[in-house]
Amino acid sequence: MKQNKSVWLLMFLLVGLLLAIGATRSGSAKTQQDRIDSITSNLACPTCSGESVFVSQAVAAQAIRLEVARQVSTGTRTDDEIISYIEQRFGGQVLLVPRATGLDSLVWSLPVASLIISLWFLIRAFSRSRKNKPSAPSAQDEKIVEQALAESIAKSRQS
Amino acid sequence: MLSKYLVKIVSGVVALILVLLLWVLLISKPSDGLVARSPLLGQPAPSVVGSTIDDQPFELQRRKGSWVVLNFFNSTCVPCINEHHLLVDFANREATNENGAELYTVVNDDSDSAVRDFFSKNGGSWPKLKDDNGTIAVAFGVARVPETWIIDPNGLVRLRVTGELSEGLLEAQLDKLRNEFG
């Protein structure tokens, strides 16, 4: 049992470590085109539904792509600053990935909170069911069963 | 016993969230007709440097001191065509005013020749700004035309009207803004 627990703990630690490495790892240097593609993939086309600026052929999306390309080529703004510039003009609905601040942060925190609460409920339910397991029969119970069996065998012999 | 408390707590939290949502719904201001919201309202107007279709240089920041009206336009867009006579009336009215507003058309995804043809047929002698890359449209967050923006003499954005103008709307809004901001 103890060994089982430590295996689980080790697995959780390993998963956590891998997630942390994955989240903080910086990839190879991005070209300007990589930056443009990455920024426009995170922006929603303001005149179409469900399409990113990266894939959309709408006039507004093309204009945003050109503006992103222009700002990337000048090199004065970071990717986040360019996204903020577009957001300030077109509003928060232009962001395909909601921000982790203000009311938008609920999009990230609510699923985690509901997962934790659900896990807690599950653990509670399992531990309760374990507690309610039927206990071993007492000597008296065994005696009653033996007596009943003997009676039924005697009855069947008589008949 | 604990589960009873838990049910009460969870119900309380859900009720609180519902009340909060209702409160947000109640306090949020309804859209005022065509007059739209924008994060730019009350902010300095974006920098616009370019030229007109007649190759005259234009810089929005140099228009400070005057009320400026920008109308984003495309000659094939039906609401733009429908509202054009209202813009002509507006331009005529402002031309008679000593401190009249300056009206500019921002050409959105259209050719210079098509715009010239349209204006020669339908009137309107105000300057038409080129926006070939959509830089001005993106700077103002314009996704669809027509849109009309008013910028005050201090260079602050004061009004955004999305869609086709209704009769007298631009005049009424500009007069209101003049009273409010001078």
Residue A16 lies in a domain: no
Task: For residue A144, tell me if it sits in a domain.
Answer: no
ipTM rounded to 2 decimals: 0.73
Q: What is the mean pLDDT of chain A?
A: 87
| CATH code for the structural domain at B49-181 | 3.40.30.10
Contact A95, A43 (CB under 8 A): yes
Whether B133 sits inside 8 A of A70 (CB atoms) is yes
> For position A79, which CATH number holds?
1.10.8.640
Confidence band, pLDDT 50/70/90 cuts, at residue A27? low
A18-32, A112-126, B66-80, range with greatest mean pLDDT: B66-80
Å between A63 CA and nearest CA of chain B? 5
Nearest CA to CA, how far is A66 from chain B (Å)? Answer: 7
The verdict on A60 and A89 lying in the same domain is yes
- Looking at the fold, whether A41 and A89 belong to one and the same domain comes out as yes
Percent of chain B residues topping a pLDDT of 70: 95
In our burial notation (b when 16+ CB lie closer than 10 A, e otherwise), range A64-81 reads: bbbbbbebbeeeeeebee
Chain A hits for B142, CB-CB cut-off 8 Å, are: 60
What is the C-alpha to C-alpha distance for residues A143 and A137, in angstroms, rounded to an integer?
10
Interface probe with B: pick from A40, A45, A53, A59, most Cβ of B within 10 Å? A59
Please give the tally of structural domains in chain A.
Answer: 2
pLDDT digits (tens, 9 = 90+) for A71-90: 999 988 999 999 999 999 99
A40-62 pLDDT, tens digit each: 999 999 998 889 999 999 999 99
Specify if A21 maps to a domain: no
Q: How far is A70 from chain B (nearest CA, A)?
A: 9
- pTM, full prediction: 0.70
A46 to chain B, any CB pair closer than 8 A? The answer is yes
Residues A92 and A37 in one domain: yes
For β-strands B102-107 and B147-151, DSSP reports them as unpaired
Domain span at residue A42? 31-97
